[in-house]
Amino acid sequence: MAKQQRTGLVGGAKKISIASMSCALAIFAAPIAAQEASVRERSPEDEVIYLIMPDRFENADPSNDRGGLAGDRLKTGYDPASKGFYHGGDLKGVLSRLDYIQGLGATAIWLTPVFRNKPVQGMPGKEDAAYHGYWGIDFTDIDPHLGTKADYKALVDAAHARGMKVYFDIVVNHTADVIRYRECPERACDYRGKAAFPYTRRGGLNGSPINPGFAGDQPPNQSAENFARLKDQRFAYTPYLPKGEERAKTPAWLNDISLYHNRGESTFRGESSQYGDFVGLDDVFTENPRVVAGMIELYGGWIDEFGMDGFRIDTARHVNSEFWQAFVPAMQARARARGISNFHIFGEVMEFQPGELARFTHIDGLPSVNDFALQGALVEAIAKDGPTDAVTNVFRGDVLYKDGEARARQLVTLTGNHDVYRFARAVMLARPTASPEEVQKRVLLAHAVVLTARGVPALYYGDEQGFTGMGDGQGPVDQGSREDMFATKTATYAKAPRLTPTQSRTGDHFDTAHPLYRAIADLVSIRKKDSALRHGRQVSRASGDKPGLLAFSRIDDDHETLVVFNTSTARIDDAVMVEPGSRRWQSLHGQCAPTSAAPGSVRVRIEPLDYIVCRAEAPSKQ
């Protein structure tokens, strides 16, 4: 429809004067500019994010399915019958489904990386494709499997015109697997640590000491002069670029072998977590000032060109703290210069304890992280029928973050995503005899927590359509969670159970009447209309050492909103503490008692695996 409108405007230009056309364009552009300005002003807590893997979402342009490459799947990366290869989704597909996304209530779209990837990599017989976007090779352009820069700009502009934000998924820790080691060219090399293989010049330990800032320097020596000594270093392994791939990466400085750690495979423990290759991917030497400056210029350029509204940072925990301390302020300044005052940056830190997550806000300076601690607690309490204290204990850790609870309100919360089990799969594995109806109730209960608790909810595409991520149990866990929303040609995706048994598995999955879509949309609507659910401080009210009652209040300057969950399979009839000034209650979801039983106490009755949302009509403070 938008394309037809633009065509009509240009086509009519022959019948009107240039001045009249300019006036018309100005009138047309004014509300769009105003809408974009209002988008910029919203704080992160006001957003509901919808996470999309573009290759698996919608295929609007089959001409780009092979990324402009010729040959079989090992050349093009395209094989829609395989979970590990490109399936054909693209940026035009996302654009074509903005009505569907906005109908769910999402206000921001987070796309997995869209820059150009190495199409296929892996040892012979174990190849996979870069459909997910995390094997970057040209960080200045869009992957041709997904479209063009013009397609990305059209998507960002269309989202902004609707009042929606777009978050850009970036990778700093690694690039695609290009570098080889002469000691083990056909297999993964074991990690070689810094103690056994210190940084030295070729020829041994004689000469000027080389300390790139990780061992013994307090503070670390991050000078360019110090790192220049590594130009002729002796690496832990002997790295080389295969013939024909000497200039494979863009920007060109990424082809410099000295700008990588070259220490072999990470074991994801100890120092290897920072310096090792992430499953073969070339681990960038992010301590080097040349890399810091290059990454700032690279990703600052994306902000300048497209004006996206935030970054999700992949594998953030595997990068040194000093890098983030320089990079984050630079990106925030770049965004402010473009008029983006609330540029939301959140890092992927795969830790499941609040204290471990919080350290990245203190030491690394990350403004926010994905709240995997809450995600893990939801699996424990709801999927596994465990103690509700698991959830409350996560919220008690909010004081650990830099700026405490205020920072916790900007954590990006989730029930699952493309790197872990979908929540439905976690339920089905924990409770294999559960009916689809019970699984669906538990999935909705988990979504109800993230949509009413502190934080910025991130909904994962397909959850609202009853995707389970069960697959066939073969291959990496994450591949099962990356189903096609369009009509799939992957047999295991087509056979995977859905939470609505009558739903077709052969067509697409954009059913706005699906019960989970409707229920999640209703929850989002409640959140949007209630300021306390977005900005209010959170007070835990009830939980225990077994399944059952879980309750918390969200309180702002105006009122209190009470949210109560029943994670058990028995009805709950109990009393919950509230603010003494909260006397009369309005039901936002479920049946709430109209008045408090006594000052500071309200009775709640909740059916099994259900929840209620109650807003106090009276001020929460006496």
Query: Active-site positions?
Result: 314, 348
Ranges assigned E (strand) in 249-385: 282-283, 310-314, 344-347, 368-369
The pair of structure tokens assigned to 167 is 């978050």
H-assigned helices in 258-348: 272-275, 289-306, 321-337
* Nearest residue to 530 via CA among 504, 507, 560, 486: 560
Q: In this structure, are residues 319 and 173 in contact, taking their beta carbons and an 8 Å threshold?
A: yes
Q: How far apart are CA 614 and CA 82, in angstroms?
A: 47
Q: Which residues of 9-48 are buried (b: 16+ CB within 10 A; e: fewer)?
A: eeeeeeeeeeeebeeeeeeeeeeeeeebeebbebebbbbb
Token pair of 328 as six digits = 């984050």
Q: Where are the beta strands (DSSP E) in 155-238?
A: 165-171, 174-175, 180-181, 200-201, 233-234
What tokens appear for 137 in the block?
């090779």
* Structure token digits, residue 54: 């573009």
Calculated CA dihedral for residues 297, 303, 309, 311, nearest 10 degrees: -30
The DSSP bridge pattern shows strands 560-566 and 174-175 to be unpaired
Torsion of CA 356, 319, 270, 403, to 10 degrees: -20
In 3D, which of 590, 585, 535 has the Cα closest to residue 557? Answer: 535
Asked whether the bond before 251 is cis by omega within 30 degrees of 0, the reply is yes
**DSSP 8-state assignment for residue 382:** I
Across 172-223, the runs of DSSP E, i.e. the strands, are 174-175, 180-181, 200-201
Q: Are 282 and 261 in contact (CB under 8 A)?
A: no
Residue from 221, 214, 207 nearest 193 by CA: 214
Structure token digits, residue 47 = 């957003």
Pair 588, 526: CB distance under 8 Å: yes
Q: Name residue 540's beta-bridge partners.
A: 552
The first and second tokens of residue 45, run together, are 């807590």
Instruction: Give residue for tokens 């709430």.
Output: 592
